[in-house]
Amino acid sequence: MRKWILIAVITAALITLLDAEENKAEIQKGIKMPYMAFPMKKGEGMYSTKGKCNMCHSWGYILNQGAQSKAFWRKKVIKMIDIFQAPIKNEDINEVVEYLYKNYGNGKEN
């Protein structure tokens, strides 16, 4: 039994080393990622919202949500704070939600 555990550990270590070498080779090739701009709609709270959201993800994440209700945006902002530790203070939540709703909302409260 111990022999099989030892073989499994050695095999896992070798696979890890081989993967590391493969990844190192990819880095050395200088892979370039394309830049994609995601313009924001101008409006009150734009710069504050951009600063808070773009610390963790691109603006494309917002655009991919589609037009949503105010309740959706509020839940999304709170999720970012609670789950992902977004650096948004409680007093700034309404500003972010209002910006998102006015510029990327569907006109519905709920």
Coil/strand/helix, residue 32: coil
Range with lowest mean pLDDT among 11-25, 38-52, 88-102: 11-25
46-104 topology per CATH: Cytochrome Bc1 Complex; Chain D, domain 2 (1.10.760)
Tell me the sheet residues that pair with 67. Answer: none
pLDDT tens figures, 13-44: 667 766 655 555 555 667 777 777 888 999 99
Which of 63, 48, 41 shows the shortest CA–CA distance to 96? Answer: 48
Q: Of 30, 28, 84, nearest to 55 (Cα)?
A: 84
pTM of the model: 0.68
Parse the chain into domains and list their residue ranges.
1-32, 46-104
